[in-house]
């Protein structure tokens, strides 16, 4: 695999686009015939799409993310369909402005169409993916009616085509599941990449993450029979993440400085040091840098 990293069609809080080269370069996993890559917190899927393993179990509690990628996997959504849909919806957005955005939002909250999910994700404020306590998408419009210009539509359609190609012919399962259920499927030889929500940050219907759940994740992950790596913020300008010391000691720690730019408030954005905590025996040698190709991910 060569860098740079490519970008999937949907955005979410905590998306690892910028960190994916770092993450993939630090993990050393020998993929075997029956082994699989497991991602219990799939989100946008940027890590697995760039890795493109032969087998994968990709889960998230957010049913809309899973439905969207399943639609691409079974061909119900493809590049030309996305292009046509966004042209049509983009025209209506241009004519009717914010009212049209909210019409699509209501429609999505009633029928949950994957294409509407894509439209909202790419038209909403600041690329947020946020749901109210009843599971309704509630991100406001970004105030840019001319958002779906030809170049933007082409870019999104190409991103859809890229993820379709990355999963084509592969044994990948997309499933709505909690991380607990997903971890029970990990076997010797598999590799589990975990990117849980940040404790107390971006809390919503699909991201109700708290201290107890974070602690439980650490306990169960450390019992896995296979390799694993966990993404977690290490420190920002204000404080350090004490949860790492408390729950994730005795792992190989790799650190990357990162600028976190998706967030509803300025205070949620800024420079942050991100840690990748890797089970000993599954980390690449220390002189591996993100500017080089990921080491031995495929064998």
**Between 41 and 100, whose beta carbon lies closer to ligand SAM?**
41
Query: Distance of alpha carbon 143 from its chain centroid, rounded?
Result: 25
CA atoms within 13 A on the CB side of 25: 20
**Between 34 and 261, whose beta carbon lies closer to ligand SAM?**
261
Cβ-based burial of 114 (10 A; exposed 0-12, middle 13-18, buried ≥19): buried
Round to whole Å and give the CA distance between 134 and 149.
Answer: 33
CB 233 to ligand SAM: min, Å: 10
Residue labelled with tokens 């942050």: 272
Round to whole Å and give the CA distance between 232 and 252.
Answer: 13
Round to whole Å and give the CA distance between 125 and 244.
Answer: 32
Tokens representing residue 190 in the block = 């598999």
**Between 10 and 153, whose beta carbon lies closer to ligand SAM?**
10
**Between 101 and 198, whose beta carbon lies closer to ligand SAM?**
198
**Between 100 and 137, whose beta carbon lies closer to ligand SAM?**
137
CB 61 to ligand SAM: min, Å: 4
CB 198 to ligand SAM: min, Å: 7
Cis peptide before 4 (omega within 30 of 0): yes
CB 120 to ligand SAM: min, Å: 15
CB 65 to ligand SAM: min, Å: 6
The residue ranges that bind ligand SAM (CB under 6 A) are 12, 14-16, 40-41, 43-44, 46-47, 60-62, 65, 178-179, 195, 197, 206-207, 209
């Amino acid at each position: 695999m060569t860098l740079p990293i490519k970008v999937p069609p949907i955005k979410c809080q905590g998306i690892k686009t910028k960190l994916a080269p770092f993450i993939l370069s630090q993990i050393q996993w020998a993929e075997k015939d029956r082994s699989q890559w497991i991602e219990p917190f799939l989100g946008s899927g940027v890590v697995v799409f760039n890795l493109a393993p032969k087998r994968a179990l990709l889960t998230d509690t957010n049913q809309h993310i899973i439905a969207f990628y399943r639609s691409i996997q079974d061909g119900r959504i493809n590049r030309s369909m996305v292009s046509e849909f966004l042209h049509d919806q983009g025209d209506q957005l241009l004519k009717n402005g914010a009212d049209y955005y909210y019409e699509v939002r209501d429609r999505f909250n009633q029928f949950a169409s994957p294409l509407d999910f894509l439209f909202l994700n790419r038209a909403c404020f600041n690329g947020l993916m946020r749901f109210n306590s009843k599971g309704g998408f509630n991100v406001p419009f970004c105030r840019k009616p001319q958002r779906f210009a030809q170049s933007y539509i082409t870019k999104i359609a190409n991103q859809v085509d890229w993820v379709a190609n990355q999963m084509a012919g592969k044994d990948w399962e997309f499933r709505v599941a909690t991380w607990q259920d997903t971890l029970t499927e990990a076997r010797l030889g598999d590799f589990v990449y975990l990117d849980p929500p940040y404790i107390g940050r971006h809390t919503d219907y699909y991201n109700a993450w708290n201290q107890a759940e974070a602690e439980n994740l650490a306990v169960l992950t450390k019992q896995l029979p296979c390799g694993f790596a966990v993404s977690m913020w290490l420190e920002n300008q204000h404080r350090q993440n004490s949860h790492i010391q408390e729950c994730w000691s005795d792992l190989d720690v790799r650190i990357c400085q990162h600028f976190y730019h998706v967030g509803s408030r300025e205070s949620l954005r800024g420079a942050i040091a991100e840690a990748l905590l890797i089970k000993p025996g599954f980390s690449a040698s220390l002189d591996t840098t993100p500017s080089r190709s990921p080491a031995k991910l495929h064998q």
